[in-house]
Amino acid sequence: SSSSGDEALRDKRARILSRGLPEQKPIEGVKQVVVVASGKGGVGKSTTAVNIALALAANDSTKEVGLLDADIYGPSIPKMMNLKGNPELTSKNLMRPLKNYGIACMSMGFLIEETAPVVWRGLMVMSAVEKLLRQVDWGELDYLVIDMPPGTGDVQLSVSQNIPVAGAVIVSTPQDVALLDARKGAEMFRKVHVPVLGLVQNMSVFQCPKCKHETHIFGADGVRDLAKTLGLDILGDIPLHVNIRETCDSGQPVVISQPQSDAAKAYLKIAMEIVRRLPVAPA
């Protein structure tokens, strides 16, 4: 009968819910995990993640920093960090991260051909994320920055629920369409009890290199308004500048290649704001 079927369904749901969330297990050797996320693609999240990782190391030379590219379908960290090749394996069959500019990096891009598309279903993607999280020998890291894929899907939930995340940084342009998705991203992290450290307003203003006139191509203060609505902080503003794009495309991010530039200083300030808001790291 339909009533007995409904009862069986309720029992099944109750059993699933009683299991709760998976137990969070820290990544061995990693003190604090910071995820850099965005509600949608094309807002400069990976560029921001790369420069934040470099800025964390530049601000405090005593800190060891790692960078994990969790974007399985569109890994961009290898190009931005000027890294190629396959990871070596340790005696425990763990992958050794590739390193450049003092940052230990791991990405799906090291495991597949550069031009090969990843045509996988969700379960295969989740298996790959699990390997990138658990089968890498990170050594001893003070901070692991995770460049999340855009959106609020399986990868974001899996990372948030399986490892303790010290805080999330949401990247958005001031454009209304981007802000809609940025809000969803912030709300998702709140639902899974990940502290949102603040928002980064990317591509905030464009200054003409010839006449120095400033134009707010994507709008002026959309991210600031969203931050007020959500009760969150603005960690910093990144201008829309050709140097930021060119340096990342050439594998020489602006924090490393042009440390005295306004763009680099903006990332260094954001990294300082992130550290200020992180909980006290375990000894």
pLDDT of residue 185: 79
pTM check: above 0.95? no
CA dihedral 229, 231, 236, 237 (to 10 degrees): 0
Using CA atoms, how far apart are residues 215 and 218, in angstroms rounded to an integer? 9
Would you give per-residue pLDDT tens digits along the chain (283 residues)?
Answer: 566 767 777 676 666 544 555 578 999 999 999 999 886 666 778 999 999 999 999 999 999 999 999 988 878 899 999 999 889 999 999 999 999 999 999 998 888 776 666 667 767 878 888 888 899 999 999 999 999 987 767 788 888 888 999 999 988 877 655 567 777 778 888 888 899 998 898 776 556 666 665 555 554 566 666 667 777 888 988 877 777 878 888 889 999 999 999 889 999 999 999 999 998 876 6
Are the C-beta atoms of 32 and 143 separated by less than 8 Å?
yes
Using CA atoms, how far apart are residues 245 and 212, in angstroms rounded to an integer? 19
The 10 Å Cβ neighbour count of residue 85 is: 8
Q: What is the CA radius of gyration of the chain?
A: 20
Cα atoms in the Cβ-side hemisphere of radius 13 Å centred on 266: 20
Burial of 190 by CB count in 10 Å (0-12 exposed, 13-18 middle, 19+ buried)?
Answer: middle
Domains of the chain (ranges; CATH) run 27-277 (3.40.50.300)
